[in-house]
Amino acid sequence: MNEEKLARTIQGEIEKATGEKAAVSIEDSVARLDGRFPSNQSAVDAGHISAGFEQVRGVVNEIDYPGRKPFALPQKVSDELTGKEFDVVIVGGGVIGLAVARELSRFNLSTAVIERHDDLGIDQTAHSNAMIHPAIATEHGTLKWEMNYKGNAMYDEVASQLDVDFKRIGTLVVAENPDEEQLLPVVVEIATKQKDPDPKELNRAELDRIEPGLAPNVRRGVLVWNTGIISVFELIIAYAENAMANGVQFFLNTSVTGVQTEEGNIKAVNTTRGTIKTHILVNAAGMYADRIAELAGDRFFTIHPRKGETIIFDKSYQPAQTVLTSFSMVAEKRSQYSKGGGIIPTIDGNLQFGPTAEEVCDREDVSTTSAGLEALFNRFAPVLERLKPRYEKPDKGKIITHFAGCRAATYKEDFIIEPSKKVKGLVYAAGIQSPGLASAPAIAERVKEIIIQEWHPAENTHFEPKRKRGKRFSELDHREREELIRTNTLYGHIVCRCENATEGEIVDALHRGIPAKSVDAIKRRTRAGMGRCQGGFCMPRVLEIISRERSIEKELVTKSGGESFILSGKTKQVKK
Amino acid sequence: MKADVTVIGSGPAGLTAALSAHESGAKEVLLLEREEELGGILKQCIHNGFGLEQFKEDYTGPEYAERLIKEIEKTNVRRLLNTMVIDLTPDRAITAVNPEKGIFQIESKSVVLAMGCRERARGSIGIPGTRPAGIYTAGVAQRFVNIDGYLPGKEIVILGSGDIGMIMARRLTLEGAQVKGVYEIMNYPGGLKRNIVQCLNDFDIPLHLSHTVTEIRGKERLEGVVVSRVDEKMQPIGGSEKFIACDTLLLSVGLIPENELSKGAGIELSPITKGPATTETMETAVAGVFSCGNVSTVFDLVDYVAQTGMTAGRNAARYATGDWKKERPSVEVIPGENVRVLFPQRYSFQDDLILFIRSAKPIESPLSIDISPLEMHIKKLYARPNEMIRVKVPRDKLKDITESIEVNITER
Ligand SMILES: Cc1cc2nc3c(=O)[nH]c(=O)nc-3n(C[C@H](O)[C@H](O)[C@H](O)COP(=O)(O)OP(=O)(O)OC[C@H]3O[C@@H](n4cnc5c(N)ncnc54)[C@H](O)[C@@H]3O)c2cc1C
Ligand SMILES: Cc1cc2nc3c(=O)[nH]c(=O)nc-3n(C[C@H](O)[C@H](O)[C@H](O)COP(=O)(O)OP(=O)(O)OC[C@H]3O[C@@H](n4cnc5c(N)ncnc54)[C@H](O)[C@@H]3O)c2cc1C
């Protein structure tokens, strides 16, 4: 079909489905949509319809709708970075940018990571469910699927080299009646086809060993054992610290606001803190990867934010050892574009229900809703109650936190990992929605391959793959604790009583690697404030330690960077 | 390290327990406190109203604590500060940590739990919305203002009408902040009458009953909250939403006894009080482990806290010195009609039974508190869940009880 005809066909399909007329144009296999639609959802539908055509490589969706957020570039604050020059600049300090940074540090390339926030990974990565998905649920044959199964398989090595807690707990699909038992071989077959290694059908005795206390009617199930859970905050920091140790430089609180090209080659990036020269630009900008593409004059996709909410229970409630799945959950899977969420334990021993999937207008929308909470609870609590009748019932009173994050989805709903077709030096790792975390090591490797094929850098013979994390009081036995306190008495002062995080760990997090600057950054690194009282006890103490160690006034300490100041000033009668 | 009686926590409960254990003849009394000073939460309660009953004085929190600390200092009670207990076993082995000694073990003949309570936070009440700075429990705000000398914000909304929230409403108003209102989900206030009058009414701070916060807005710092009216089932009523601009939301939505250690020691907790189930001697279900103060149940008045501390200390000393015999098995003390909270949970025939009762709902007409099978009927003019009722049942009246004791509130 020629592009004009295709455009008309797409227009017709959109009108059929939504009742709205969009202006559709196609150039170089990229569809561009304009118009004004009554809702975000209808605009998103138009995007998906267009992307459904195979000849369409990408969809740029400019359809306006009520509530659409205009995009504004942040203001420049200084010129301090002007004059710097790197071989590679990576935009985005999420797990993808960081994994790429570490991969590239295996070569003699000077590399910089630029991140707009004052800490790493806090857009998508930190709001994920920290699950290393099996490939069973991703669409066969997509890039997503390939990266998923490859990335999953790489995690044992990544976690051990980077000293990050990681455990393969498996996804357990259980049959609740003879009809469902009949379907178990099909599950094994699908998992095998998807390249999840060695899925196993289990009998009751085997089930009891990995998921004790299942309901009596559960007699058989399938274990897809390669599902993992990881400490995602630790992973972020670990990738960054290791990359840093191998020479990568980090610029936080810095936004990329422009891309300079010359005769189709990357020349430099403009940032809020000055212009940095480079000839390779890796676009790992998550929610804003389409904007970076646009700035480079290579616009061929639009990111549409899809929000996911998650609820987390107190550690005293641990009814599931695996990612426990019933056939009813699989059947009920709501959205075509997400895996439907689940009952997911975390590596720290808290159970999660999540995530939901909802198209939203604002890429920055990380607000939680009571509808989200109710939906999660009503969907998963009955399953858990049914499958694990001997355990305490799920209880809303045991929820300790509820959070949300947006997935950076494209309309093609697949990852984009490729060199730009227009701009030499621009490499994409974009549209990395779920299971982007599970895929990260494979994505990084793919990006590395693209770069070495084109530029042939020499290997960095000093590359050190290993990184050690700081000591954690809560993980040590008595003797090790004794020793630690003897070398540094700050480890004898427990600041967070829920998670047993000590002052020693907090001070360490404020000084090592990518130093924590805010209360939330401390929380992500040390777990102080992550327990059942959610910082009710330790937050003022953490604030005090940050102020002391960073030598800043307490009023300047933030919750999470920017203007998120915790205090608003001194009282009238200051005692001290 | 060895001790006769070890007290964990040095708030009013712990201080009183340590003193009373000492006075009751325990030789080696050890008091462990994770903070750098004795006194517990009272150090940040700089308002008055403490010790009216116990000392017949109107002290501020720190003054009250100081009085107990002075008395402790006159004794040989050994005090270890900056010392956090991280483990307690059913056979009373205590593991503690402090910067000087590192990790160390204490063997104690008896143990008194006096770890107090903590505040419920945002997560446990599930307010949807964003997660900006500016949302604190009232106790955190109290610490910022009273201990650190900082203001948490300038335009304040308070969710929950607990006492700490109301006290902070007044405190912040005096510091020049604007308190826009206190919102309470129940149709009656959570805190004491005197605090409603002295902290809210006197400062023209509105109290909105049957209201709750249904959304939090703001990206970096809080920009406002949406409040809604709720129906009898405490569900928000659609259409009643109102946006209130503010930079701070204080939560005063309840206190929970701090029982991580108790759970570790295998001590049975009461589902009602969320603290250890104890007898009138304050002994828990684990022999030789006593508990008192807000770790047992959340009391309204520090005088009540001290009273339980006194009892726990005295009995812990008896236990440690071998002067402890249980002649009869204990019986249950059961909350009946209209009773939401009842403390203690058992009676062991060793002491007078002092009951602490909270009614299940506000009753504003004459009523009677009936203690069966005794023919005891205590008449009251009203009962409110936010005002604990204390009733003393003398020991000699109870000696013939064989099965259980039940407490009912009957409207007349
Ligand atoms: C609710 C939810 C649950 C999920 N659960 C899972 C899961 O369990 N398992 C799994 O495998 N995947 C999961 N995912 C997906 C996974 O989180 C993402 O795929 C992955 O984190 C993507 O990483 P990233 O580095 O591409 O993106 P991000 O983490 O978003 O990083 C991009 C970074 O780029 C920065 N940036 C953007 N624009 C600029 C600019 N102009 N200048 C400078 N910096 C910029 C951003 O600040 C951000 O830090 C989940 C996602 C969501 C939303
Ligand atoms: C923020 C807040 C404000 C309050 N304001 C008032 C008020 O204005 N008026 C009023 O009458 N009541 C108030 N209360 C109630 C108050 O808790 C009681 O009145 C009284 O202080 C309770 O005494 P306590 O000894 O049981 O507990 P606390 O005073 O809380 O003392 C418990 C002590 O145990 C220590 N501790 C806990 N765990 C450990 C451990 N593992 N190892 C070592 N030490 C430990 C704590 O550091 C603390 O010092 C308030 C409570 C809170 C939380």
pLDDT of the residue at B16: 98
Domain CATH number, residue A175: 3.30.9.10
Which amino acid is it at A529?
Answer: G
How many whole angstroms separate alpha carbon A558 and alpha carbon A118?
A: 10
Same domain, A150 and A230: yes
Residue A68 within a domain: no
In the numeric block, which tokens belong to residue A89? 């600049």
In chain B, which among 103-122 make CB contacts under 8 A with chain A? 103, 118-119, 121-122
- Cβ of B218 closer than 6 Å to ligand 2, yes or no, is no
Same domain, A323 and A375: yes
What architecture is the B331-412 domain classified under in CATH? Sandwich (2.60)
For residue B330, CA distances in Å to A426, B183, B291, B323 come to 78, 43, 17, 18
Distance from the CA of B411 to the center of ligand 1, in angstroms? Answer: 60
pLDDT of the residue at B132: 95
For residue A398, CA distances in Å to A185, A563, B85, B283 come to 37, 32, 24, 28
Residue A331 has pLDDT above 90, yes or no: no
The distance of B332 to chain A (nearest Cα, Å) reads 25
Same domain, A459 and A348: no
**In terms of DSSP H, where are the helices of B153-259?**
163-174, 193-195
Q: Are B1-119+255-324 and B331-412 equal in CATH topology?
A: no
Same domain, A310 and A328: yes
Residue A337 has pLDDT above 80, yes or no: no
Closest by CA position to B132, among listed A367, A361, A557, A542: A367
Using pLDDT thresholds of 50, 70 and 90, give the confidence band for residue B408: very high
Helix (H, G, I), strand (E, B) or coil at B173: helix
C-beta separation of B305 from B15 below 8 A = no
Domain boundaries, chain B: 1-119+255-324, 121-253, 331-412
Q: In sequence order, what are the beta bridge partners of B380? A: B367
In the numeric block, which tokens belong to residue A301? 């996709």
Residue A30 within a domain: yes
Residues with Cβ within 8 Å of B323's Cβ and at least 6 positions away in sequence, in order, are none
Residue owning the nearest CA to atom 22 of ligand 2 = B294
Which amino acid is it at B52?
Answer: L
Helix (H, G, I), strand (E, B) or coil at A478: helix
Closest by CA position to A504, among listed A494, A514, A517, A513: A494
Residue A566 within a domain: no
ipTM given for this complex? 0.93
Residue A69 within a domain: no
Give, as one character, the DSSP assignment of residue B144: I
How many whole angstroms separate alpha carbon A493 and alpha carbon A517?
A: 21
Same domain, A85 and A213: no
C-beta separation of A17 from A31 below 8 A = no
Distance from the CA of B116 to the center of ligand 2, in angstroms? Answer: 4
The answer to whether the Cβ–Cβ distance between A492 and B102 falls below 8 Å is yes
A332, burial (CB in 10 Å: exposed 0-12, middle 13-18, buried 19+):
exposed
Give the catalytic positions of A in this structure: 133
Give, as one character, the DSSP assignment of residue B198: I
* B368-407 per-position pLDDT tens digit: 999 999 989 999 999 999 899 999 999 999 999 999 999 9
Residue A39 within a domain: yes
Same domain, A321 and A392: yes
* A40-74 per-position pLDDT tens digit: 999 999 999 999 999 999 999 999 999 998 888 99
Using pLDDT thresholds of 50, 70 and 90, give the confidence band for residue A575: very low
Rama region for B178: left / alpha / beta (φ>0; ψ in -120 to 50; rest): beta
In the numeric block, which tokens belong to residue A156? 């044992």
How many whole angstroms separate alpha carbon A367 and alpha carbon B216?
A: 8
pLDDT of the residue at A576: 40
Total domain count, chain A: 4
Say which residue the tokens 């891309």 belong to.
A259
Say which residue the tokens 């020793």 belong to.
A483
Residues with Cβ within 8 Å of B46's Cβ and at least 6 positions away in sequence, in order, are B60, B61, B62, B146
Q: What is the mean pLDDT of residues A526-551?
A: 92
Q: Which of these three, A360, A381, A409, is where a domain ends? A: A409
- Within a 10 A sphere around the Cβ of A446, how many other Cβ atoms? 23
CA B160 centroid distance within chain: 16
Domain CATH number, residue A525: 1.10.10.1100
Radius of gyration of the CA atoms of chain B, in A: 22
In chain B, which among 27-56 make CB contacts under 8 A with chain A? 34
Helix (H, G, I), strand (E, B) or coil at B157: strand
For B59, the enclosing helix (H) or strand (E) is strand B59-60
- Within a 10 A sphere around the Cβ of B235, how many other Cβ atoms? 10
Closest by CA position to B215, among listed A372, A114, A187, A484: A372
How many whole angstroms separate alpha carbon A195 and alpha carbon A495?
A: 45
* A164-183 per-position pLDDT tens digit: 999 999 999 999 999 999 99
Residue owning the nearest CA to atom 19 of ligand 2 = B302
Residue A288 has pLDDT above 90, yes or no: yes
pLDDT of the residue at B327: 80
Q: In sequence order, what are the beta bridge partners of B269? A: B276
The DSSP code sequence of A185-225 is: HHHHHHHHHTT-S--EEE-HHHHHHHSTT--TT--EEEEET
Q: What is the 3-state secondary structure (H, E, C) of A17-79?
A: HHCCCCEEEEECCEEEEECECCCHHHHHHHHHHHHCCCCCCEEEECCECCCCCCCCCCCCCCC
Length of chain B: 412
A151, burial (CB in 10 Å: exposed 0-12, middle 13-18, buried 19+):
buried
Closest by CA position to A62, among listed A74, A76, A50: A50
In the numeric block, which tokens belong to residue A499? 């998670």
Residue A576 within a domain: no
Same domain, A292 and A424: yes
Residue A440 has pLDDT above 50, yes or no: yes
Q: In sequence order, what are the beta bridge partners of B390? A: B356
Q: Which of these three, A469, A498, A516, is where a domain ends? A: A469
* B329-376 per-position pLDDT tens digit: 999 999 999 999 999 999 999 999 999 999 999 999 999 999 999 989
Same domain, A108 and A160: yes
Ligand 1: lining residues by beta carbon, under 6 Å: A 91-97, 114-117, 121, 123-125, 127-131, 133, 255-256, 284-288, 308, 355, 405-407, 432-438
CA B114 centroid distance within chain: 10
Which pTM value belongs to this model?
Answer: 0.93
For residue B94, the ligand closest to its alpha carbon is 2
Interchain contact A546–B (C-beta under 8 A): no
CA A60 centroid distance within chain: 23
- Within a 10 A sphere around the Cβ of B168, how many other Cβ atoms? 32
Is the alpha carbon torsion for A216, A217, A220, A222 positive or negative?
A: negative
Residue A71 within a domain: no
Residue A183 within a domain: yes
Residue owning the nearest CA to atom 7 of ligand 2 = B45
Range of the domain at A12: 3-61
Q: For domain B121-253, give its CATH number from 3.40.605.10, 3.40.50.720, 3.30.300.20, 3.50.50.60.
A: 3.50.50.60
pLDDT of the residue at B325: 84
* B284-288 contacts at long range (C-beta below 8 A, 24 or more positions apart): B284/B113, B286/B90, B286/B92, B288/B92, B288/B109, B288/B110, B288/B111, B288/B316, B288/B319, B288/B320
In the numeric block, which tokens belong to residue A573? 């009668």
Same domain, A547 and A492: yes
Interchain contact B237–A (C-beta under 8 A): no
Is the alpha carbon torsion for B155, B161, B164, B170 positive or negative?
A: positive
Dihedrals φ, ψ of A261, to 5°? -125, 160
Nearest to B151 among A368, A482, A570 (CB): A570
* B263-298 per-position pLDDT tens digit: 999 999 999 999 999 999 999 999 999 999 999 999
For the domain made up of B1-119+255-324, the CATH class stated in words is: alpha beta
How many whole angstroms separate alpha carbon B284 and alpha carbon A308?
A: 45
Same domain, A232 and A294: yes
* A245-273 per-position pLDDT tens digit: 999 999 999 999 999 999 999 999 999 99
Residue of B nearest to A478 (CA): B103
Distance from the CA of B257 to the center of ligand 2, in angstroms? Answer: 10
Domain CATH number, residue A55: 3.30.300
How many whole angstroms separate alpha carbon A254 and alpha carbon B290?
A: 56
3-state helix, strand, coil in chain B (%, to 5): 25, 35, 40
pLDDT of the residue at B126: 79
Residue A338 has pLDDT above 80, yes or no: no
Same domain, A29 and A56: yes
Residue A574 has pLDDT above 50, yes or no: no
**In terms of DSSP H, where are the helices of B79-191?**
122-125, 138-143, 163-174
Q: Which of these three, A434, A451, A469, is where a domain ends? A: A469
How many whole angstroms separate alpha carbon A261 and alpha carbon A425?
A: 9
Same domain, A330 and A220: yes
Residues with Cβ within 8 Å of A154's Cβ and at least 6 positions away in sequence, in order, are A441, A442, A445
Residue of B nearest to A365 (CA): B130
Rama region for A290: left / alpha / beta (φ>0; ψ in -120 to 50; rest): alpha
pLDDT of the residue at A376: 95
Length of chain A: 576
How many whole angstroms separate alpha carbon A339 and alpha carbon B30?
A: 56
Q: Is the peptide bond before B373 cis (omega within 30 degrees of 0)?
A: yes
Q: What is the mean pLDDT of residues B292-317?
A: 96
pLDDT of the residue at B130: 94
Widest distance between CA atoms in chain A: 79
How many whole angstroms separate alpha carbon A24 and alpha carbon A34?
A: 7
